[in-house]
């Protein structure tokens, strides 16, 4: 089918308008974070700052309540640990469900899969706190990390499982004949081959845990020094002084956006392949 | 004789090997199985138990109340059912705009274009941003002293700044805008994947037969995509029903709790940090159970009703 020139112009016009609508809120937010506080208040219609300044970042750095470095560090630590946990548990889970033969395999897999459909919502934080209390872990970011260690990410397990299935089984068999154990095969043979799929899972896990809001808010309620960046930035809005702290909020928002935007620019093929793998193969 | 004895001695060896394999499999799954029992099964049982109790965190006040919590949901709690209504309104406004828009953009992007990948990547971009941050960004640009108002006034579209969050209609409109902004990209990707499955020859045949673009779209593209559409719509409906943090951050129910969706209402009412300090958690458990049952029912009903979609081709 041929497309006429006029039609092509029309298509590009539509796409470019949508493009502008899509990036406008982001550009506006990032650009505003470099405005002076008075320009933010008085000239919201200027998209780019007339006077380019780092004042908001300096204010955020010096602010006692909004300790941006501390929060940045908490976010980084939380995200890195969550990514590591996700990579380890989902690769082992995917491997076991792809190659393992053990009684109850089908049952366990079916039960894990049905998890996707059970969502009791946030009320479950009460029993979680009860369990954490019981084992003597305080309600903190560390408590949340402990919860994450025992979490199940069924979509990631699906991704690894279908990837392991594409690897030739003859390798495992050879290793098995040489006396390698089931776990040994995973660490010596399978795990090094999982790099491409782990890149996808890792980058998705990075984005998810960096962006996490609800649970970190609940878990760091009594320990504000452990707030992650997203939690802290949103807290500025709900603390009631929203109008006076838009400058801090904009700077914080920009700092919170940058890592995810960088990750997306570098690895957007991984984002999309992970999404498609999860949606279609899953 | 020798051979026989060897065969016999082999058997326990295989047996123990199998047992050790099973053990290793369960060892590798151990954190997830423990997590499942402790963090999924136990909380569900806990909620099921306390839905029969009055429980506000203090042991001494805890008492068994039987069906009372559930009866209260269906007879007294009008607020809760209003949040359901809001959720459905939200879905009914959002999805009919978002899905055709995403479908249209996907059809455009499916043509031979330069910069196709770039457009696709940018449209998907809002999806990777924290939903809480999206709430902040949109409450900033739709602020009374925000950029949208000042542009509207500047171009004489409205005479005076609009206070978007003062009545339910405009507040919902802003919420829907932000929500569409956030998720239309993912649907474009889904639709693009679905369009790839339509064989090229079908288009060529129809084109040779003199079918117009519109006819081709409605008679070929759409029906061929129907089975995937069923899944895409299910995912969108589910995503919209589960909307939660976004509302909490952006309006926190303003004005007067009218923009709460079900999930955000439950959080604002019963979760520490959002709710008042002393609430009847038992009642919250009952509400959560009823909510998840209704959610499951909606998904189930949708699958039943939309079965035709998956059988078109």
What is the torsion angle, in degrees rounded to the nearest 10, for the CA atoms of residue B141, residue B142, residue B146 and residue B148?
Answer: 90
Tell which of A7, A12, A25 to mutate to test the B interface (max B CBs under 10 Å): A25
Q: What is the pLDDT of residues B231-262, one digit of tens each?
A: 889 889 989 998 999 999 998 888 888 999 99
Q: From CA A112, how far away is CA A109, in angstroms rounded?
A: 5
Residue A243: the pLDDT is 58
- Using CB atoms and an 8 Å cut-off, which of residues 77-106 of chain A contact chain B? 89, 92-93, 95-96, 100-103, 105
- Which chain B positions have a beta carbon within 8 Å of A131's beta carbon? 38-39, 42
* CB-based contact A102 B25, cutoff 8 Å: yes
| Chain B (76-115) residues lying within 8 Å, Cβ to Cβ, of chain A | 105, 108-109, 111-113
Partners of B53 in the beta sheet? B64
Q: Is residue A147 within 8 angstroms of chain B, CB to CB?
A: yes
First to last CA, chain A: 34
CB B123 within 8 A of CB B184: yes
Q: Is the dihedral of CA B14, B15, B18, B23 positive or negative?
A: negative
Q: Which helix (H) or strand (E) holds B54?
A: strand B53-54
Asked if A1 is an interface residue toward chain B (Cβ–Cβ < 8 A), one would say: yes
pLDDT confidence tier of residue B1, bands split at 50, 70 and 90 = very low
Q: Note the pLDDT of residue B264.
A: 93
Instruction: Please indicate whether, in this complex, the C-beta atoms of B147 and A47 are within 8 angstroms of each other.
Output: yes
What is the band of B14 on the pLDDT scale with cuts at 50, 70, 90?
Answer: low
For residue B53, the SS3 value is: strand
How high is the pLDDT of residue A60?
A: 83
Q: Which residues of B touch A15 (CB under 8 A)?
A: 105, 108-109, 113, 119
Q: Do A112 and B33 form a contact (C-beta atoms < 8 A)?
A: no
Size of interface A-B (CB pairs under 8 A): 245
Classify residue B14 by burial, with Cβ atoms within 10 Å: 0-12, 13-18, 19+: exposed
Q: Which two tokens stand for residue B198?
A: 């339509």
pLDDT at A61: 85
Report the gap between the CA of A101 and the closest CA in chain B (Å). Answer: 7
CB A228 within 8 A of CB A71: yes
Cβ neighbours of B199 in A, within 8 Å: none
**By the 8 A CB rule, do B240 and B262 touch?**
no
The backbone torsions φ and ψ at residue A135, rounded to the nearest 5 degrees and listed phi first, read -90, 5
Structure tokens at A15: 């796409």
Mutate to test the interface with A, among B19, B40, B242 (most CBs of A within 10 A): B40
Flag whether residue B214 sits within 8 Å of chain A, measured between CB atoms: no
What pLDDT does A280 receive? 42
What is the predicted pLDDT for the residue at B6? 46
| B130 DSSP 8-state letter | -
A253 in contact with B at a CB cutoff of 8 Å?
A: yes
Distance (Å, whole) CA B290 – CA B266? 12
Interchain proximity A127–B291, CB inside 8 Å: no
* Strand, coil or helix: B118: helix
Q: How high is the mean pLDDT of chain B?
A: 88
Contact B145, A44 (CB under 8 A): yes
How many residues are given for chain B? 313
pLDDT tens per residue, range B165-223: 998 999 999 999 999 999 999 999 999 988 888 888 888 888 888 888 888 888 888 88
Percent of the residues in chain B that have a pLDDT greater than 70, as a whole number: 95
Taking the C-alpha atoms of residue A100 and residue B23, their distance in angstroms, rounded to an integer, is 10
Query: Per DSSP, what are the bridge partners of residue B64?
Result: B53
Chain B residues lying within 8 Å of A221, measured CB to CB: 272-273
pLDDT of amino acid B246: 93
State whether residue B137 sits within 8 Å of chain A by CB. yes
Contact B122 A21 (CB under 8 A): no
What is the rounded distance in angstroms from the CA atom of residue A236 to the CA atom of residue A214?
15
3-state secondary structure of B235: helix
Chain A neighbors of B202, CB-CB under 8 A: none
* Residue B307 pLDDT exceeds 90: no
Which residues contact residue A146 at a Cβ distance below 8 angstroms, ignoring those fewer than 6 apart? A132, A137
Q: B75: pLDDT confidence band, cut at 50, 70 and 90?
A: very high
Question: Nearest residue on chain A to B203, judged by CA atoms?
Answer: A1
Q: pLDDT grade, residue B7 (50/70/90)?
A: very low
Spatial neighbors of B172 by CB under 8 A, at least 6 apart, are B86, B89, B90, B93, B259
Q: How close, in Å, is residue A62 to chain B by CA atoms?
A: 22
> What mean pLDDT comes out for the span B35-40?
90
Q: What are the chain A neighbours of B105 within 8 Å (beta carbons)?
A: 14-15, 18
**Is A130 at the interface with chain B, CB within 8 A?**
yes
At A249-273, the pLDDT tens digits run: 899 999 999 999 999 998 888 887 7
- pLDDT for A245 equals 79
Q: Which of B105, B109, B154 sits opposite A45 (nearest CB)?
A: B154
Find the closest chain A residue to B267 by CA distance: A122
Q: Is the confidence at residue B58, as pLDDT, over 50?
A: yes
Structure tokens at A157: 């397990």
CATH number attached to the domain at B78-311: 1.10.3720.10
DSSP for chain A, please give it.
----HHHHHHHHHHHHHHHHHHHHHHHHHHHHTTS-HHHHHH-TT-SS-SS---HHHHHHHH-SSS-HHHHHHHHHHHHHHHHHHHHHHHHHHHHHHHH---TTHHHHHHHHHHGGG---GGGGHHHHHHHHHHTT--SSHHHHHHHHHT---HHHHHHHHHHHHHS-HHHHHHHHHTT--HHHHIIIIIHHHTHHHHHHHHHHHHHHHHH--HHHHHHTSS-GGG--HHHHHHHHHHTT-GGGGHHHHHHHHHHHHHHHHHHHHHHHHHHHHHHHIIIII-
Q: Round to whole Å and give the CA distance between A148 and B249.
A: 24
- Residues for chain A: how many in total? 282
Residue B277 forms contact with A (CB below 8 Å): no
C-alpha to C-alpha distance for A235 and B35, rounded to whole angstroms? 30
pLDDT-derived band at B108 (thresholds 50, 70, 90) equals very high
Kindly determine whether residue A152 and residue B38, on different chains, have CB atoms separated by under 8 Å. no
Q: What is the ipTM of this complex?
A: 0.88
Q: Is A131 on the interface with B (CB under 8 A)?
A: yes
In A213-242, the residues whose Cβ lies within 8 Å of chain B are 213-214, 217-218, 221, 230, 233-234, 237-238
List all residues of chain A from 3 to 22 with a beta carbon under 8 Å from chain B: 3, 11-12, 14-15, 18-19, 21-22
* Closest residue in B to A266 (Cα–Cα): B121
Dihedrals φ, ψ of B289, to 5°?
-65, -45
d(CA A5, CA A201): 42
Among residues A162, A141, A154, A255, which one has the least CA distance to residue A209?
Answer: A141
Residue pLDDT, tens place only, B15-30: 777 888 899 999 999 9
**Are B20 and A230 within 8 A, CB to CB?**
no
Question: Cα(B290)–Cα(B267) distance, rounded to whole angstroms?
Answer: 15
CA B312/CA B225 separation, integer angstroms: 9
* Under 8 Å between Cβ of A260 and A209: no
Taking a C-beta distance cutoff of 8 angstroms, is the pair B284, B46 a contact? no
Which CATH code, of 3.10.129.10, 1.10.3720.10, 3.40.1400.10, 3.10.20.30, is assigned to A63-281? 1.10.3720.10
Distance CA B17, CA B221 (A): 54
Cis peptide before B239 (omega within 30 of 0): no
Binding-face residues of A in 254-273 toward B, CB within 8 A? 256-257, 260-261, 263-264, 268, 271-272
B 171-210: CB under 8 A from A: 181, 185-186, 189-190, 193, 203-204, 207
Question: Would you give per-residue pLDDT tens digits along chain A (282 residues)?
Answer: 556 889 899 999 999 999 999 999 999 999 999 998 888 888 888 888 888 888 888 888 887 778 889 999 999 999 999 999 999 999 999 999 999 889 999 999 998 888 777 767 788 899 999 999 999 888 889 999 999 999 888 889 998 998 999 888 888 888 888 888 999 999 999 999 999 899 989 998 999 999 999 999 999 988 888 999 999 999 888 776 555 678 888 999 999 999 999 999 988 888 877 776 554 433
Question: Looking at chain A from residue 48 to 77, which residues have their Cβ under 8 Å from any Cβ of chain B?
Answer: none
């Amino acid at each position: 089918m041929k497309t006429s020139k006029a039609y092509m112009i029309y298509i590009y016009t539509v796409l470019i308008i949508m493009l502008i609508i899509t990036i406008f809120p982001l550009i506006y937010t990032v650009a505003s974070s470099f405005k002076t506080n008075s320009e933010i208040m008085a000239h919201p219609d200027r998209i780019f700052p007339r006077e380019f300044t780092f004042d908001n970042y300096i204010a955020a750095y010096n602010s006692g309540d909004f300790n941006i470095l501390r929060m940045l560090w908490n976010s980084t630590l939380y995200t890195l640990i969550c990514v590591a946990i996700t990579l380890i548990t989902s690769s082992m889970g995917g491997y076991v469900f792809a190659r393992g033969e053990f009684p109850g395999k089908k049952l366990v897999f079916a039960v894990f899969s049905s998890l996707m459909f059970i969502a009791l919502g946030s009320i479950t934080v009460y029993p979680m706190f009860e369990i954490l209390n019981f084992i003597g872990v305080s309600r903190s970011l560390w408590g949340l990390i402990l919860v994450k260690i025992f979490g199940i990410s069924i979509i990631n397990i699906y991704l690894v499982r279908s990837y392991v299935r594409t690897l030739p089984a003859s390798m495992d068999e050879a290793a098995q004949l040489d006396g390698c154990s089931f776990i040994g095969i995973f660490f010596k043979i399978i795990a090094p081959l999982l790099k491409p799929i782990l890149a996808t899972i890792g980058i998705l896990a990075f984005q998810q845990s960096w962006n996490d809001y609800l649970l970190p808010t609940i878990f760091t309620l009594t320990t504000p020094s452990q707030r992650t960046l997203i939690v802290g930035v949103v807290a500025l809005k709900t603390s009631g002084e929203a109008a006076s702290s838009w400058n801090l909020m904009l700077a914080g928002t920009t700092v919170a956006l940058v890592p995810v935007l960088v990750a997306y620019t570098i690895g957007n093929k991984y984002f999309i392949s992970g999404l498609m793998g999860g949606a279609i193969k899953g | 004789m020798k051979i026989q004895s060897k065969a016999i001695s082999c058997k326990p060896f295989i047996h123990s090997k199998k047992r050790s394999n099973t053990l290793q499999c369960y060892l590798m799954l151990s954190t997830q199985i423990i997590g499942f029992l402790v963090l999924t099964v136990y909380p569900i049982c806990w909620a099921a138990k306390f839905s029969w109790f009055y429980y506000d965190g203090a042991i001494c006040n805890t008492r068994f109340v039987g069906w009372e919590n559930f009866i209260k949901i269906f007879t007294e709690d009008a607020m809760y059912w209003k949040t359901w209504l809001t959720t459905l309104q939200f879905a009914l406004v959002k999805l009919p705009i978002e899905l055709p828009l995403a479908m249209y953009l996907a059809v455009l992007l499916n043509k031979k274009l330069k910069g196709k990948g770039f457009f696709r990547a940018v449209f998907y971009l809002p999806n990777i941003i924290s939903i809480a941050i999206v709430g902040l960004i949109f409450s900033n640009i739709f602020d009374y002293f925000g950029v949208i108002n000042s542009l509207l006034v500047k171009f004489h579209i409205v005479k005076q700044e609009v206070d978007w969050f003062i009545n339910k209609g405009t507040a919902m409109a802003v919420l829907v805008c932000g929500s569409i902004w956030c998720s239309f990209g993912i649907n474009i990707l889904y639709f693009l994947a679905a369009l790839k499955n339509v064989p090229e020859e079908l288009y060529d045949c129809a084109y040779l037969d003199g079918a117009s673009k519109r006819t081709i779209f409605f008679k070929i593209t759409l029906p061929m995509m129907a089975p995937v559409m069923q899944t895409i719509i299910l995912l969108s409906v589910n995503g919209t029903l589960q909307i939660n943090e976004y509302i909490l951050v952006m309006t926190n129910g303003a004005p007067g709790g009218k923009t709460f969706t079900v999930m955000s209402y439950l959080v604002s009412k019963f979760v520490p940090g959002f709710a008042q300090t002393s609430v009847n958690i038992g009642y919250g458990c009952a509400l959560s159970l009823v909510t998840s049952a209704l959610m499951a029912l909606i998904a189930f009903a949708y699958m039943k009703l939309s079965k035709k979609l998956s059988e078109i081709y």
